[in-house]
Amino acid sequence: MEHDDPAEALTELRERRPSRLELLQVAAGSGLAVYGVWALLLQPGFRRVPLRLQVPYVGASARQVEHVLSLLRGRPGKTVDLGSGDGRIVLAAHRCGLRPAVGYELNPWLVGLARLRAWRAGCVGSVRFHREDLWKVSLRDCHNVSVFLAPSVLRLLEDKLQAELPAGARVVSGRFPLPTWQPVAVVGEGLDRVWAYDIHRGGPAGQAVPGPGSASVLGTPSSQTG
Ligand SMILES: C[S@@+](CC[C@H](N)C(=O)[O-])C[C@H]1O[C@@H](n2cnc3c(N)ncnc32)[C@H](O)[C@@H]1O
């Protein structure tokens, strides 16, 4: 319908209900936009990773980071975050004296963001962020390992950690526990909970037993230390 009066046209437009086709177009447009963001920002780097091993980015909460550090603070040797996201755990580890601190991350946008954050924090030469597949990284010289990954990949990760980590290494897992290992300490509640596991030479497959100085709660996996 033609209108000479713009006010009348506007009123009609306001009162008009969208047709089904228009609603469908809006839904399809929104779906495409979401897919575009996912494909552009989250998917790069994962093309060669099998679907079952793909873990999306979710940043650790401030409290979760605190708990990770409380379980690693003061430990010597190289600290790594497997799937380091925007670098928050690596940067916090560096700040509390865990050096060298290194992040491995597949998503190039997140690697870039982590490097930018390191630059802004003035520690660009001291922390490192590698764009690498965590499943292909050798962990033989890593003494402190932080992971915050999906439960679906943690069983497989146990095998890798067990095969590669040196005796005395500690693994901390945020939000989800390693499925078959016994933790030596557990800190925090709910989504912020973090589990610690110590690797011992000659121990039974993947079974963590308390190391010197560890807050040992062996045999009581759900015990709290904080
Ligand atoms: C849940 S997020 C945790 C991010 C960060 N560690 C933190 O705590 O804030 C998991 C991260 O692992 C990364 N990731 C998943 N699979 C990976 C792989 N095969 N190699 C390297 N990074 C991976 C994802 O891109 C994502 O950034």
pLDDT tens digits, one per residue of 171-210? 999 999 999 999 999 999 999 999 999 999 764 444 544 4
Distance CA 118, CA 127 (A): 7
Higher-confidence position of 51 and 195: 195
Q: Provide Rg for the chain, Cα atoms.
A: 23
Q: What is the Cβ-side half-sphere exposure of residue 130, based on CA atoms within 13 angstroms?
A: 13
- Ligand 1 mean position, distance from CA 55 (Å): 6
pLDDT of residue 30: 82
State in Å, rounded, how far the first CA of the chain is from the last one.
69
DSSP, collapsed to helix, strand or coil, labels residue 127 as strand
Which atom of ligand 1 approaches the CA of 49 most closely?
Answer: 19
> Which residue among 40, 54, 63, 107 is best mutated to probe the pocket of ligand 1, counting the most ligand atoms within 8 A of its Cβ?
107
What integer is the mean pLDDT of 134-163?
97
Q: Residue with the nearest Cα to atom 26 of ligand 1?
A: 57
Asked whether 109 lines ligand 1 (CB < 6 A), one says: no
For residue range 13-35, what is the model confidence (pLDDT) as tens digits?
Answer: 677 778 888 888 888 888 777 76
Mutate to test the pocket of ligand 1, among 47, 66, 84 (most ligand atoms within 8 A of CB): 84
Is the pLDDT at 219 greater than 70? The verdict is no
One-letter amino acid at 26 equals V
pLDDT computed for residue 42 by the predictor: 59
At 103-127, the pLDDT tens digits run 999 999 999 999 999 999 999 889 9
User: How distant, in Å, are the alpha carbons of 23, 43, 54, 136, 194 from that of 36?
Assistant: 20, 10, 18, 28, 33
- Residue of minimum CA distance from atom 13 in ligand 1: 83
Decide: 107 in ligand 1 pocket, CB within 6 A: yes
* Alpha-carbon span 181 to 42, nearest angstrom: 31
**Entry pTM:** 0.78
